[in-house]
Amino acid sequence: MGAKAAIVGAGHTRFGALDAGPRALLRNAVDAAFASVDRGAERSVVDEAYLASLGFGGWQIGNSAAVLAEELGQPGLPTTHIENACASGGFAIRAAVAALGSGAADLVLVAGVEKMTDVPSGRRRYWLGVSGDTEWERLAGLTFAGVYGLIASRYLSDHRVGPEALAEVAVKNHENGALNPNAHFRKVLRSDQVLRAPRVADPLGLYDCCPVSDGAAALLLARADLARRFTDTPVYLEGLGAGSDHLAVQERPELTRFVASRRAAEAAFRAADVDRGRISFLEVHDCFTIAELLALEDLGYAAPGEAAEITLSGATRRTGRLPVNPDGGLKAKGHPIGATGVSQAYEVFLQLRGAAGARQVPGATRALTHNVGGAGATATVTIFAAG
């Protein structure tokens, strides 16, 4: 079936250790989204709003959707808070597209936010850890870095590859992030720096892990048939897919494939009815370097173990044949949990309109976003096309 929704505006704050609280971050992203609409959009025309957030910085934990309506300047508006851990943004976009597709709304606001620095450290650890399985992982002390470290060990061992492939993910994404004015890290790295960095969860070192970031991103999504009221260059959502998996990694038959990502990708490609070769670039969920390798395989761009070789070949660089994470990815751009899935779509909006500046992927016409919750317990994949 044809696209039911299109992005007609998008806004983004800087990602990083910021002074602003979650309310102000949301407001800034929403304001920027409205400012980006070519022919303008009245705030009163928005029919619904969806908020993606894990914990709103531990501040407004319950009923935080109401804050989004307030910061939009439309208290009264139907507004829904969606929480699927690090995949909250992808699932919020999906819910918004369902609202548009069902005829319940013509124009919808989706915003994601997280405030993770400058909150009491005990609470910060709590909010990061709560998305893993409580009984078998969190209470046993197994952090996300720990889980991904186990996955990376298995991957390197099964496929007899060295840590250089992981390091190359970091090098590439930092190179891209250096060109992104919103990125948390804008410093380029050399492979030997990544390989010699202090270990976090072997084989993952400091530069294999995404940072703890504050930030927000917002999208204005319109019904596809109304999109040209707002702009001549909407970006269409051609296919959406989602999936889940056992929450505890120990329940899964394999460590190095995420069933949730695979199901999401299959559904998205089926809905969009396009071949993988027609996607110009990917925005994948690289919370740790190993996650980018898994993503290439789960999304169907590499056979098991091949992602390492493809990455080392330079194919996934911004100038390669399949650019991955031209905005720097979670690794360099940062990962404010609820904002991440929305931020991926923001990057697609810029790129497919040729507005990504120094980091533009030349001639990009289609893109895919891949957003993962926790260590693969939930995931979304969305395929976008230029208007």
Q: Which residues are catalytic?
A: 86, 335
- Based on CB atoms, which residue is closest to its own copies, 153 or 244? 244
Q: How far is CA 32 from CA 283, 341, 349, in A?
A: 21, 17, 13
374 lines the binding site for its own copies (CB under 8 A): yes
24 lines the binding site for its own copies (CB under 8 A): no
134 lines the binding site for its own copies (CB under 8 A): yes
Binding mask 51-90 for its own copies (x = CB under 8 A): ---xx---xxxxx-xxx-xx----xxxxxxxxxxx-----
- Based on CB atoms, which residue is closest to its own copies, 361 or 375? 375
| Structural tokens at position 328 | 């720097």
- Based on CB atoms, which residue is closest to its own copies, 95 or 195? 95
| Structural tokens at position 371 | 């957003």
Q: Which residue has the tokens 């460590």?
A: 255
268 lines the binding site for its own copies (CB under 8 A): no
Residue 132: CB minimum distance to its own copies, A: 8
- Which of 255, 308, 373, 383 binds its own copies (CB under 8 A)? It is 373
- Which of 131, 176, 182, 261 binds its own copies (CB under 8 A)? It is 131
If we measure between CA atoms, which residue out of 363, 290, 274 comes closest to residue 330? 290
Residue 19: CB minimum distance to its own copies, A: 17
101 lines the binding site for its own copies (CB under 8 A): yes
If we measure between CA atoms, which residue out of 215, 227, 294, 209 comes closest to residue 255? 294
Return the bridge partners of 109, or none.
Answer: 49, 220
If we measure between CA atoms, which residue out of 129, 155, 152 comes closest to residue 203? 152
Cα gap 340→350, rounded to integer Å: 16
Give, in degrees to the nearest 5, the angle at Cα 13 between 8 and 15.
Answer: 130
242 lines the binding site for its own copies (CB under 8 A): yes
- Which of 24, 246, 320, 354 binds its own copies (CB under 8 A)? It is 246
94 lines the binding site for its own copies (CB under 8 A): yes
Give, in degrees to the nearest 5, the angle at Cα 145 between 329 and 172.
Answer: 30
245 lines the binding site for its own copies (CB under 8 A): yes
The residue type found at 353 is R
- Based on CB atoms, which residue is closest to its own copies, 79 or 173? 79
45 lines the binding site for its own copies (CB under 8 A): no
If we measure between CA atoms, which residue out of 252, 342, 334, 351 comes closest to residue 298? 252
SS3 state at 301: coil
| Structural tokens at position 264 | 């999401």
Q: How far is CA 290 from CA 68, 113, 162, 209, 257, in A?
A: 34, 25, 12, 9, 11
- Which of 259, 282, 345, 348 binds its own copies (CB under 8 A)? It is 259
Residue 58: CB minimum distance to its own copies, A: 9
Q: How many residues bind its own copies (CB under 8 A)?
A: 61
CB 94 within 8 A of CB 242: yes
CB 114 within 8 A of CB 53: yes
CB 354 within 8 A of CB 317: no
106 lines the binding site for its own copies (CB under 8 A): no
- Which of 3, 4, 170, 205 binds its own copies (CB under 8 A)? It is 4
- Based on CB atoms, which residue is closest to its own copies, 142 or 361? 142
20 lines the binding site for its own copies (CB under 8 A): no
CB 384 within 8 A of CB 374: no
- Based on CB atoms, which residue is closest to its own copies, 50 or 230? 50
Which residues contact its own copies (rule: CB under 8 A)?
1, 4, 48, 54-55, 59-63, 65-67, 69-70, 75-85, 91, 94-95, 97-104, 127, 130-134, 240-247, 251, 259-260, 263-264, 267, 373-374, 377-378
